[in-house]
Structure 1
Amino acid sequence: MARIFKTKLSQRRWQNFKGNRRAYWSLWIFGILFVLCLCAELVANDKPLVVKFQGQIHSPLLTVYPETYFGGDFQTEAVYSEIETQCLIKTGGLEICYDDPEGVIADADDGVVEGRTIQQGWIIWPPVPYSFNTINYDVDKAPSTPDASHWLGTDDQTRDVLARVIYGFRISTVFGLVVVVISSVIGIISGAAMGYFGGWVDLLLQRFVEIWDSMPLLYVIIILSALFTMTLPILMVLVILFSWMGLVGVVRAEFLRARNFEYVRAARAMGVSDVKIMFRHLLPNAMVATLTFLPFQITGAIGTLTTLDFLGYGLPPSYPSLGELALQAKNNLQTPHLAFTAFFTMAIMLSLMVFIFEGVRDAFDPRKTFK
């Protein structure tokens, strides 16, 4: 793998990509955002990152601790957002935390409570102390406008919008990338076979593509959603089944044009296998035309997921979804922060991905060089 990136061709392509400043900086910005969203549990969570209790370090993200472990009364998992639980952690499990937790916490900062020296504990929270499904019962009105506690406000169930955007960004990006990669592989292989072999192979596959492409994706998903609950893997498979035809025509045309070139005939006369000719000699010539469509493929995949969630036929409501956020914005016009958040999140995400794939297209184009 390292040898591939050290070749002159790979270095020239990387220099071409870097020469497209818009694509280069978009890659950096999107990469930072994507890494942060991949680590969403470390950025937005209603569980602390690290807890020190009775001199020991604990990680609630990795281990489930019941409330009784900290000196509470319940066997269920501790709710760290409750002030009583925080008081128990900071005082080493003193039972008086249930009487006046705020006063006990204030005394605990001095290291002495009711004349006793305590084992002081502490809590380190993520930057956003809410998960995508955390309901804040202290909010009086839902949805609420942005404030110091909720930087982008809350939705109609008092869930933090910023946390849902972070998790929704991850789901949308992973969904779009997986769908585009798998559907592109299927479409390229199908188009290559149709263009290279021609004849009956081309005729039969064209008729199949025409019939399959005429099936409406939305109606199929509506029917299937009535039969079973949609999940992210199931929705991925359904979208892939109906999106792989986008590259078939482009790849087929390129292979039809190049299959009778002199170097292809020479390779065939030398006994080179059809698979090597197709994917080692012909496919690189079709890459520029193929990569031209990738920005439309990625935006189409993410747009499909957002549309299905907006219409209520996509992921379940428990999933953090940008489409569900847009639906809440439509239903709560009196709080425009939901609409602005959904719009700018989608616009920034799709713009960055389009700029990146435009740079990838230019990098593979031998006619373009940047200084």
Structure 2
Amino acid sequence: MAEIIANDKPLLIVYKGQLFFPVLVNYPETVFGGEFDLEMDYRQEYAKELIYSHGWMIWPVISYSFDTINYERIAPAPPSYDNWLGTDDQGRDVMARVIYGFRISMLFGLILTLVSSVIGIVVGAVQGFYGGKIDLAGQRLIEVWSGMPTLYLLIILSSFITPSFWWLLGIMALFQWMTLVDVVRAEFLRGRNLEYVRAAKALGMHNFRLMFRHILPNAMVATLTFVPFILTGAITTLTSLDFLGFGLPAGSPSLGELIAQGKNNLQAPWLGITAFLVMSIMLTLLVFIGEAARDAMDPRQYSRLNQP
């Protein structure tokens, strides 16, 4: 979706009656009558003359990608007709980088939330269902593991490993999974003593099926209310790491990197203001979603409605 909104390639080219989609496929100059068998730079006047001589093309709303540099203006440049939110300190369009950075932040947050939630639910279910020594050992392990300085570990690892999207995701998943353990554990400690669970266990039902077929659905009501807040924390963590320089590789579109540029370029207030507003709106909406989900799943809401 981001490529359709902001891109330095046309969405559609009609050339000599044929359709071309540069956003999806890379075409050499020779396809449009050029001399070199290289990928075409559609922003050059030479390329536009070749295409307009025998056809036409449709551009995205923003004709810049996240790494497209505007050499015609001094960087950082203020907002203008060509660059709606200005350019950063390297001449790249801020609007395009915000769109791509928002996508990366949401994708990172969703994947991290999904992975950490699955791990946390499994660990919490095992602890709560079996209890005893397993629960005691699990709690002591979580206490030790949660005391690990995550930021310092990332700084140490970044000194000899180049950070990447999946590398950061794996490291953060090692610590983020503990968020849901206590909630799921408490629900399973309560659920294992219910009458229907005891009856199913007396009938010889396997523990695995008993845990995830009968107890887990009832525990998911309390668990799902925490998911939007976990997503908010994941996005905030990635933004903080990018701001400190320990996040995504240099050049990657990131809201944290844009905030850092705003701090380093106080003479260009549009950088910091844009990043701050985008982060504020995004996190506020996620908090509202979390609050609405919690209220919708609160059984006390229905008990009050049913009162005469």
Bin for the TM-score computed over the shorter chain: over 0.9
Deviates further, 183-192 or 47-56: 47-56
Matched, 1:42 2:11: no
Match of 2:213 among 273, 276, 280: 280
Which consecutive residues of structure 2, in runs of 5 or more, have no partner in the other structure?
Answer: none
Q: Which residue of 2 aligns with 1:341?
A: 274
Q: Which residue of 1 aligns with 2:17?
A: 55
Matched, 1:159 2:92: yes
CA 1:125–1:142: 2 relative to 1, 3 Å = same
Deviation, structure 1 residue 241:
0.7
Deviation, structure 1 residue 43:
1.0
Q: Which residue of 2 aligns with 1:102?
A: none
State whether residues 242 and 254 of structure 2, in contact with CA within 8 Å, keep that contact through their aligned partners in structure 1.
yes
Q: Which residue of 1 aligns with 2:125?
A: 192
Aligned counterparts of 1:334 and 1:256: Cα–Cα separation in 2 = 57
Matched, 1:329 2:269: no
Q: Which amino acid aligns with 2:274?
A: T
Higher RCO (CA-CA < 8 Å; seq separation 6+): 1
| TM superposition score normalised by structure 1 | 0.78
The higher radius of gyration belongs to: 1
Q: Which amino acid aligns with 1:159?
A: R
Q: Which residue of 2 aligns with 1:260?
A: 193
Deviation, structure 1 residue 345:
0.8
Aligned counterparts of 1:284 and 1:258: Cα–Cα separation in 2 = 10
Aligned counterparts of 1:149 and 1:253: Cα–Cα separation in 2 = 55
State whether residues 229 and 290 of structure 2, in contact with CA within 8 Å, keep that contact through their aligned partners in structure 1.
no
Match of 1:138 among 67, 72, 80: 72
Aligned counterparts of 2:8 and 2:246: Cα–Cα separation in 1 = 29
Aligned counterparts of 1:251 and 1:58: Cα–Cα separation in 2 = 52
Deviation, structure 1 residue 252:
1.3
Q: Which amino acid aligns with 1:274?
A: N
Aligned counterparts of 2:133 and 2:18: Cα–Cα separation in 1 = 72
Matched, 1:75 2:37: yes
Q: Which amino acid aligns with 1:341?
A: T
Q: Which amino acid aligns with 2:33?
A: G
Q: Which amino acid aligns with 1:185?
A: V
Q: Which residue of 1 aligns with 2:299?
A: 366
1:178 is paired with a residue of what secondary structure?
Answer: helix
Aligned counterparts of 1:264 and 1:256: Cα–Cα separation in 2 = 12
Deviation, structure 1 residue 346:
0.9
Aligned counterparts of 1:80 and 1:49: Cα–Cα separation in 2 = 11
Deviation, structure 1 residue 51:
1.3
Matched, 1:356 2:295: no
Match of 1:222 among 136, 155, 161: 155
Deviates further, 64-73 or 45-54: 64-73
Aligned counterparts of 2:26 and 2:192: Cα–Cα separation in 1 = 61
Aligned counterparts of 1:157 and 1:337: Cα–Cα separation in 2 = 14
| Percent identical residues | 58
1:271 is paired with a residue of what secondary structure?
Answer: coil
Q: Render the CA deviation track for 1:20-73: whole Å, top value 9, x for unaligned.
A: xxxxxxxxxxxxxxxxxxx11111100011112233222212322222433334
State whether residues 226 and 290 of structure 2, in contact with CA within 8 Å, keep that contact through their aligned partners in structure 1.
no
Deviation, structure 1 residue 212:
1.4
Q: Which residue of 2 aligns with 1:301?
A: 234
Aligned counterparts of 1:277 and 1:89: Cα–Cα separation in 2 = 65
State whether residues 242 and 257 of structure 2, in contact with CA within 8 Å, keep that contact through their aligned partners in structure 1.
yes
1:79 is paired with a residue of what secondary structure?
Answer: coil
Deviation, structure 1 residue 174:
0.8
Aligned counterparts of 2:200 and 2:92: Cα–Cα separation in 1 = 62
CA 1:68–1:235: 2 relative to 1, 3 Å = same
Deviation, structure 1 residue 283:
2.3
1:361 is paired with a residue of what secondary structure?
Answer: helix
Deviation, structure 1 residue 357:
2.9
1:367 is paired with a residue of what secondary structure?
Answer: helix
State whether residues 287 and 364 of structure 1, in contact with CA within 8 Å, keep that contact through their aligned partners in structure 2.
no
Aligned counterparts of 1:68 and 1:137: Cα–Cα separation in 2 = 26
1:305 is paired with a residue of what secondary structure?
Answer: helix
State whether residues 259 and 282 of structure 1, in contact with CA within 8 Å, keep that contact through their aligned partners in structure 2.
yes
1:368 is paired with a residue of what secondary structure?
Answer: helix
Matched, 1:210 2:143: yes
Deviation, structure 1 residue 315:
0.3
CA root-mean-square deviation: 1.8
Which consecutive residues of structure 1, in runs of 5 or more, have no partner in the other structure?
Answer: 1-38, 92-119
Within 5 Å, give how 1:20-35 maps onto structure 2: none
State whether residues 69 and 90 of structure 2, in contact with CA within 8 Å, keep that contact through their aligned partners in structure 1.
yes
Q: Which amino acid aligns with 1:127?
A: V
Aligned counterparts of 2:42 and 2:215: Cα–Cα separation in 1 = 59
Q: Render the CA deviation track for 1:240-279: whole Å, top value 9, x for unaligned.
A: 1111011111221222233222222222112222223222
Q: Which amino acid aligns with 2:23?
A: L
Q: Which residue of 1 aligns with 2:116?
A: 183
Aligned counterparts of 1:68 and 1:283: Cα–Cα separation in 2 = 60
